Amino acid sequence: MRKLTLFLLLALSQVAAPAAWGQAAYRNLTIEGKVTSQGHPVASVPVTDGANIVLTDASGVYRLESNSLHRYVYYTLPSGFESAVENSLPKFYKAIPEDAKGVVKADFELFPAKTDQTRHVFFVWADPQVRVEKEFALLDKVRDDVIATVRSYGDKVPVHGISLGDEVFDVPELYAPYKETIATIGVPFYQVLGNHDMDYNMRSDYFSDLRYSREFGPSHYAFNRGRAHYVVLKDIFYDGDEHNYIGYITEEQLAWLELDLKTVKPGSLVIVALHSPTTYGDTESAPPDQVMRSSVVNKDALYKILAPYNVHILAGHSHNQWNTVIADNIMEHVHAAACGAWWQGPVTTDGVPNGYTVYEVDGDELSWYFKGVGLPLGTDQMKVYPVGAGGDFPGQIIANVYNYDPAWTVSWYENGVRMGNMERFWGVDPLAGKLYPPGGNATYKWLGVHATHHLFRATPHDPAAKIGVVATDRFGNVYRSFAATTPSAN
């Protein structure tokens, strides 16, 4: 019955969408305008209402047939240009007036990029998820760490950011101070809709992102930088029943994505940002309802559309960190929360420090590294626990390698002698287990530790020996850490 109800909800959402912005009736519209830069027309710029896409002509002019169901008209930023930025938020869109009739005029101005974009950098944080004012002081620390990272690249490397949703925790009144917080980052910072950004008092998914969109614009869009093409999607679908949602990408977005990618050469680097992971880790033991809420049920349709490209999918939502190789050309990166365990401690429920990930683009190539807030770069890639720290494995050392993927190697040393590779296993990070026992949090009784698959273990021959761990990532970067001499989960 549940599956049948879900099927009907999804089907009806495509054919019986209610009138936009509370309008009384559906109306056909024509949107037209011009895209220019420094007084000159910009040709071949995609302009969209979120469903249809047209290109500007040689005079920079476009004409888009639309209707009153769509709230915004916006462009896909071409490489070599920048959008206007207000408080770090790119302004690439214009609202379609609620009472629009007939022809709607919308012109756009682009700005030449200050430097070459072939090599550029972007940072990604997920789930800042502030719920009360005092948490902004904690978010300030994350922001300040980001600012320091941005400045470390100097003026010659363009930098932008992507937030993967849950900007707030069901409190839309906090959007204003959130925007004030990110304003000082000083680089374009694109936003993604999360499930805690949605309005669950609406009658359907169509209206659930209304308040979010008034603050941040359309919930699916695209832009280019250098040779990379970026796509933002909304993959949280509200089923109209209290706080219930599933991971699902609507047909309108899938059809729009097919049109969008027609302007992108096969084999190109395509970066897709969304909130919920498309794939739920690499375990098959999760309950079905958890899989529906923490993965995308129609992900195969998305993968098929993305098949011709070199794709990296960026997701948040889980508050845990993991990487999944979906296909030879599709990799998904799930980012631990900027707020960690909902601002209740210095690490997430899988032991990853509160932090973010930095991605470096060089032409068609992408590399990345995790950055822990307040931790020196290079020392924030893993934590090694001594013998006795892991309650379930009292005779073993444990290493938590935060951003592990299958191309990493993790080996261990005893008194300077390499003993081999460590064994990867599912388990609980000792510090996270100590900080977040199920039901033990005073603020959130539902908060508890989560098992993770980026843990490694080994059994020393001499428990008193000096134990070291060396982790090498897929790019050849080598990280070293030593176990403490006494058992501790701190």
Residues composing the chain: 490
Same structural domain, 27 and 139: no
Is 10 part of any domain?
A: no
Spatial separation of the C-alpha atoms in residues 481 and 47, rounded to whole Å: 50
Spatial separation of the C-alpha atoms in residues 158 and 163, rounded to whole Å: 17
Q: Are 28 and 20 in contact (CB under 8 A)?
A: no
Helix (H/G/I), strand (E/B), else coil: 54: strand
Number of structural domains the chain divides into: 3
* pLDDT digit string (tens) for the chain, length 490 residues: 334 334 333 443 443 344 444 444 678 999 999 999 999 999 999 999 999 999 999 999 999 999 989 999 999 999 999 999 999 999 999 999 988 889 999 999 999 999 999 999 999 999 999 999 999 999 999 999 999 999 999 999 999 999 999 999 999 999 999 999 999 999 999 999 999 999 888 888 888 898 999 999 999 999 999 999 999 999 999 987 777 888 999 999 999 999 999 999 999 999 999 999 999 865 555 555 555 557 899 999 999 999 999 999 999 999 999 999 999 999 999 999 999 999 999 999 999 999 999 999 999 999 999 999 999 988 889 999 999 887 788 889 999 999 999 999 999 999 999 999 999 998 999 999 999 999 999 999 999 999 899 999 999 998 788 999 999 999 999 999 987 654 444 4
Q: Any alpha helices (H) in 153-306, and if so which ranges?
A: 175-183, 205-208, 210-216, 251-260, 288-293, 299-306
Spatial separation of the C-alpha atoms in residues 277 and 331, rounded to whole Å: 11
Pull the structure tokens for residue 403: 């951003």
Same structural domain, 131 and 178: yes
Segments forming the whole domain that contains residue 335: 114-372
What is the DSSP secondary structure assignment for residue 195, as one 8-state letter? G
CATH number assigned to the domain comprising residue 98: 2.60.40.1120
Is 487 part of any domain?
A: no
Spatial separation of the C-alpha atoms in residues 286 and 289, rounded to whole Å: 8
Domain boundary residue, one of 372, 407, 425: 372
Same structural domain, 334 and 349: yes
The pLDDT assigned to 337 comes to 96
* Beta carbons within 10 angstroms of residue 448's beta carbon: 16
Domain boundary residue, one of 52, 87, 111: 111
Domain boundary residue, one of 343, 372, 401: 372
The pLDDT assigned to 289 comes to 52
Q: What angle do CA 105, 112, 108 make, to 5 degrees?
A: 5
Is 2 part of any domain?
A: no
Q: Any alpha helices (H) in 91-224, and if so which ranges?
A: 136-152, 175-183, 205-208, 210-216
The pLDDT assigned to 292 comes to 54
Same structural domain, 417 and 438: yes
Same structural domain, 448 and 461: yes
Q: Are 54 and 63 in contact (CB under 8 A)?
A: yes
Same structural domain, 64 and 135: no
Same structural domain, 63 and 207: no
Is 444 part of any domain?
A: yes
Is 468 part of any domain?
A: yes
Same structural domain, 154 and 276: yes
* Beta carbons within 10 angstroms of residue 398's beta carbon: 27
CATH number assigned to the domain comprising residue 290: 3.60.21.10
The pLDDT assigned to 73 comes to 98
Pull the structure tokens for residue 289: 């309802």
Nearest to 216 by CA among 255, 163, 138: 163
Is 54 part of any domain?
A: yes
What is the DSSP secondary structure assignment for residue 100, as one 8-state letter? -
The pLDDT assigned to 248 comes to 94
Cα distances (angstroms) measured from residue 161 to each of 79, 124, 232:
16, 6, 12
Same structural domain, 186 and 296: yes
Q: Are 372 and 321 in contact (CB under 8 A)?
A: no
Is 13 part of any domain?
A: no
The pLDDT assigned to 270 comes to 98
Same structural domain, 118 and 96: no
CATH number assigned to the domain comprising residue 463: 2.60.40
Cα distances (angstroms) measured from residue 101 to each of 31, 98, 223, 324:
10, 9, 29, 47
Spatial separation of the C-alpha atoms in residues 174 and 345, rounded to whole Å: 21
Same structural domain, 168 and 243: yes
Same structural domain, 122 and 99: no
Q: Any alpha helices (H) in 313-407, and if so which ranges?
A: none
The pLDDT assigned to 23 comes to 46
